[in-house]
Amino acid sequence: MPETADLDVLRGLFTGRLLLPGDDPAAIAPFLVDWRGRWHGAALAVAQPDTVDGVCAVMRWCHQHRVPVVPQGGNTGLSGGSVPDDTGRALVLSLSRLNRVRQVDTVNNTLVVEAGVTLAAVQQAAAEAGRLFPLSLAAEGSCTIGGNLATNAGGVQVLRYGNARALCLGLEVVTPEGELWQGLHGLRKDNTGYDLRDLYIGAEGTLGIITAASLTMFPRPAGQAVALVAVDTPAAALQLLQHAQQQAADQLTAFELMSELCLKLVARHMPSCRMPLSTPAPWFVLLEVSHPQSAALASSALESLLEGAMEAGWVLDAAVSQSETQRQALWALRENISEAQGAEGKTIKHDISVPISRIAAFVEATSAAVAQAFPEVRLVVFGHLGDGNLHYNVSPAEGASGAAAAAGFLALEAPLNALVHDAVAAAGGSISAEHGLGVLRRDEALRYRDPVAHRLMLQVKQAFDPLGLMNPGKLLPR
């Protein structure tokens, strides 16, 4: 542990609120717990540098004094990756004040942003330049692009535009020693050595600190149309997916699956969300078509592909948005599922992916197995079918309330995880598709990881962070 005098040196590097000492509990409290209130920790101090030089200075100090560093962006993660442990030995390095948009280049279609810029502000900077930055997810108002890259975030536009990794051309990174790697180019093609960029992306801050990124922008579609479609089975939804991809190719920009219960919960808890279809169905698909020239062309392309799907018998019923208001109302059905599920009690979340060709059989067999082993729970299944990624979530029985019921439900988490994740592994899938490992999935991931891959990952960690100071205990066991 550093001495008081050492802490004074660190304090001397900053003015005002850029360093919050650990002996000011009220000031540092928000940095010690995740937003769901699931993980609580303690810290020596919280540093909030507003320059890259400041980040380097903090890192040099931590390296010199062997102080573990927990990088934190918007602290909106679902896996506990940005919260310190309870030893109080670590420094929380918040990147939230490193939040400048450094460059917008409409000819190269790139922007350079610092790690602490919120995702919504990145989208906004692109929009002001007449371009699209397509990464889009529920926490976009408060999550930061640094955190999005550290966790390789996904969301609802991955089908067309890829995940955070696919949208990043270059990085600026501070190493555990406090050195700066300037890899912030805006090039689509560069084969001049090992791909360090992709090593930091998805590393959850365990190898170094991402301080800035060069990101790709896209032409902004002139208009979009959305449909809500009732289908009988996930298999029918997959038929519709293939048909839509063949017909619309890249104009298909979202393809989301939702179980009937998802929409019932939204209707129950968000009375302003109106269900546009009266046909009862066990599954629903929300699909979006974007068109470079107009919303009307997007609508007609969407209607045309749905006609073909109706004739083929894959679709029970469908509603197509005829205005921007209707489009947003349909999206609201999808976007409110998590909150509606939260209103039903505790949630056990699974963020899984399997090959798209195995998803229908996976859902059928796993849902039957869950129903048999845990007859008291309800499955709330939704997600990005076009990416093979489902949030295969679980809620307590209807009406189960109170602390005892919640405790009883959460006691099911480990055996439920084992059942679901074993099924995922058997289908060649991943137990963490877009939320990262953090502490939540760290040990489970190890259980399913190829042993050679695990040895290689430990070697990467040892090579980049030999003192083990970077976000210890996240992603890899300590």
Residues 324-383 that bind a copy of itself (CB under 8 A): 353-358
DSSP H stretches of helix in 13-87? 25-28, 52-65
Q: How far is the CB of 87 from a copy of itself (least distance, A)?
A: 24
166 lines the binding site for a copy of itself (CB under 8 A): yes
Rounded CA separation 205/191 (Å): 25
Rounded CA separation 285/392 (Å): 15
- Residue (of 80, 49, 75, 180) closest to 472 by Cα position: 80
| Candidate list 154, 176, 205, 345; residue touching a copy of itself; CB under 8 A | 154
Nearer to a copy of itself among residue 29 and residue 187 (C-beta): 187
| Candidate list 21, 64, 183, 419; residue touching a copy of itself; CB under 8 A | 183
Rounded CA separation 130/145 (Å): 20
Q: How far is the CB of 60 from a copy of itself (least distance, A)?
A: 14
Nearer to a copy of itself among residue 5 and residue 452 (C-beta): 452
Rounded CA separation 214/216 (Å): 7
Q: How far is the CB of 365 from a copy of itself (least distance, A)?
A: 17
249 lines the binding site for a copy of itself (CB under 8 A): yes
- Paired with 224 in beta bridges are 290
35 lines the binding site for a copy of itself (CB under 8 A): no
Rounded CA separation 235/240 (Å): 9
- Residue (of 138, 94, 134, 95) closest to 111 by Cα position: 134
| Candidate list 14, 165, 270, 332; residue touching a copy of itself; CB under 8 A | 165
- Residue (of 164, 183, 165) closest to 173 by Cα position: 183
Let me know the angle formed at the C-alpha of 472 by 35 and 9, rounded to the nearest 5 degrees: 90
448 lines the binding site for a copy of itself (CB under 8 A): yes
Q: How far is the CB of 257 from a copy of itself (least distance, A)?
A: 14
Q: How far is the CB of 149 from a copy of itself (least distance, A)?
A: 12
| Candidate list 48, 72, 94, 110; residue touching a copy of itself; CB under 8 A | 110
Which of helix, strand or coil describes residue 415? helix
- Name which of residues 428 to 447 contact a copy of itself (CB under 8 A): 428-437, 441, 445
- Helix 52-65 / helix 4-12 crossing angle, nearest 10 deg: 170
Question: Two tokens at 30?
Answer: 């928000």
Q: How far is the CB of 436 from a copy of itself (least distance, A)?
A: 5
The Cα-based distances of 71 to 207, 349, 443, 471 in angstroms read: 11, 24, 21, 7
CB count within 10 Å of CB 277 equals 15
463 lines the binding site for a copy of itself (CB under 8 A): yes
- Name which of residues 61 to 90 contact a copy of itself (CB under 8 A): none
188 lines the binding site for a copy of itself (CB under 8 A): yes
Q: How far is the CB of 156 from a copy of itself (least distance, A)?
A: 12
- Name which of residues 274 to 303 contact a copy of itself (CB under 8 A): 292-293
| Candidate list 13, 21, 105, 410; residue touching a copy of itself; CB under 8 A | 105
Q: How far is the CB of 157 from a copy of itself (least distance, A)?
A: 12
Rounded CA separation 231/244 (Å): 14
| Candidate list 22, 41, 74, 202; residue touching a copy of itself; CB under 8 A | 202
Rounded CA separation 385/356 (Å): 7
- Residue (of 270, 390, 396, 394) closest to 335 by Cα position: 270
Query: How many Cα atoms occupy the beta-carbon half-sphere of 133 within 13 Å?
Result: 28
| Candidate list 29, 127, 365, 456; residue touching a copy of itself; CB under 8 A | 456
Q: How far is the CB of 274 from a copy of itself (least distance, A)?
A: 31
Q: How far is the CB of 323 from a copy of itself (least distance, A)?
A: 23
Nearer to a copy of itself among residue 255 and residue 374 (C-beta): 255
- Residue (of 43, 95, 102) closest to 72 by Cα position: 95
| Candidate list 101, 196, 397, 410; residue touching a copy of itself; CB under 8 A | 196
Nearer to a copy of itself among residue 186 and residue 276 (C-beta): 186
